[in-house]
Each structure stands twice: as C-alpha cells, then as structure tokens.
A and B are shown apart, each in its own frame.
Chain A
C-alpha cells in the first residue's frame, strides 16, 4: 500500500521554528517528485513547495520563500519541511503529497497520493 505519513506538527509561538517530516512507503520514493501543500482552517488548498526526485530542483510559494526549506532523504524514504520565522498566517494542516509531472501534448502536473496531514498552530 502506498502511504505518506506526516509528523512534526504542533503548537509553536510566533517567530518560532518547526520541522515537519513525511515518511513514505509502498513505492520507490526516489523516483517521485514531492510537494508540501497546506490548508488553513476553513480555507482552500495552498501549494507550498516542490522538490524534484533527486532534490536538485526546488520551488517555493512566495508566501514562504526565505523562511521554509524543503529537503528529502531518498535513502530513508523521507521528506522534510523546515519552517522558520513562523507567523499566524502559517497556521494550517500541512499535507505531504506525491507529484506526477512532465510533458505530453501539454504539461501535466498532479498529486496522486496525499498524506493525512499534520496540523501546525502558530499562537502565543
């Protein structure tokens, strides 16, 4: 069974840091691109960050650029998100997500596997 299990969420004070992890199983992790996607309470989905299968290509949403760092350990089948300088606007459920992307007639990009998410609350 293909599984993504997030951990590391919790309550953190404004300005603090948190490191999220995602354990992947049931597939060849090193062959897949990965994302972090978040959802603030009562809001829609927000794409946060992308990392290629090798880790060489990384992208961030403008809202987290310079504060968040995505990384992966293919030997340990794990994905990470280091979050610094957290603010109330970062309060959300954070989902680890497996990506399929590439070129066919057009560019395709979709998430075919989602974790259950880990909640992050930034509050004093």
Chain B
C-alpha cells in the first residue's frame, strides 16, 4: 500500500484529454513538490513532470502537471496511441526518509 494513491487505470480515445490523480497526506504532498514518470511497455521510466508542473527539455506541452492541497494531477491532451504506458507520481517522504511512488496508473488509448 503506497502512501501516494493513484487510480489503477484510465482510458480515453485518441485526440481526447485524460487526467491522472495522485493523492496523499498533507505532510507528503502538501509539503513537497510532485514529479511524474512515464513507463512505456518494456522500458525504463522517464521523467515527465517535476516540481509539480515543470517539463524537462523534450517533453511536449501536451503533458502538464498541477497540485492543489493534498492532490496532484497529470494531464495529457491530444492523446496518441504512443501515450499508452504506466504513469507514476513520486516525491520524498520526510517522515520515512525515503522516496515514494504512487502505485501507478495504466493509460489505455482506445
């Protein structure tokens, strides 16, 4: 049981928009920046979003992040079949002195 909770799966049609939530306690999400990772099938994870809403170089602006209170959200617009992947949120848990990841959300582009 992860300290960060994500829906197990989401789905949407090509071209549509989808959001993935990541919820946790005020001590974790409320006090820390959230990052998001994309893991394509058979590949290593890749950083998508850091510091709640910043995109690394090379990540298209179809991907966005936000945070409000004890919840963070990853948004993906203009869905493509190539976006089918597992998505993870992550941050640091100061009380555990360790990194934490959400359980992951499988995105299906119908």
- A107, B94: Cβ atoms under 8 Å? yes
Q: Please, which residues of chain B bring their CB within 8 A of the CB of A115?
A: 44
* Selected interface stretch from B11-19, B76-84, B100-108: B100-108
Which parts of A91-122 form the interface with B (CB within 8 Å)?
95, 100-101, 104, 106-117
Contact of B88 (CB < 8 Å), options: A44, A108, A112: A44
- A116, B44: Cβ atoms under 8 Å? yes
- B101, A109: Cβ atoms under 8 Å? no
- B31, A106: Cβ atoms under 8 Å? yes
- A47, B32: Cβ atoms under 8 Å? no
Which parts of B83-110 form the interface with A (CB within 8 Å)?
86, 88, 90-92, 94, 96-104
Interface size on A, residues (CB 8 A): 27
Q: Please, which residues of chain A bring their CB within 8 A of the CB of B39?
A: 45
- A111, B33: Cβ atoms under 8 Å? no
- B97, A45: Cβ atoms under 8 Å? no
Q: Please, which residues of chain B bring their CB within 8 A of the CB of A45?
A: 37, 39, 45, 88, 90, 101, 104
Most chain A C-beta atoms within 10 Å of own C-beta, residue among B2, B86, B99, B100: B99
In the complex, the chain B residue whose C-beta lies closest to that of A47 is B99
- B101, A110: Cβ atoms under 8 Å? no
B71 at interface, CB cutoff 8 A? no
Shortest beta-carbon distance from A105 to chain B in Å: 8
| Bound form: Cα–Cα A100–B45 in Å | 16
Which parts of B13-40 form the interface with A (CB within 8 Å)?
31-33, 35, 37, 39
A27 at interface, CB cutoff 8 A? no
- Give 17 pairs: A residue, B residue, CB < 8 Å, sorted on A: A44-B2, A44-B104, A47-B98, A50-B98, A59-B97, A95-B44, A95-B45, A107-B31, A107-B33, A108-B51, A109-B32, A109-B99, A110-B35, A112-B50, A112-B56, A114-B45, A117-B44
- Tell me the B residues contacting A by CB distance below 8 Å: 2, 31-33, 35, 37, 39, 44-47, 50-51, 56, 86, 88, 90-92, 94, 96-104
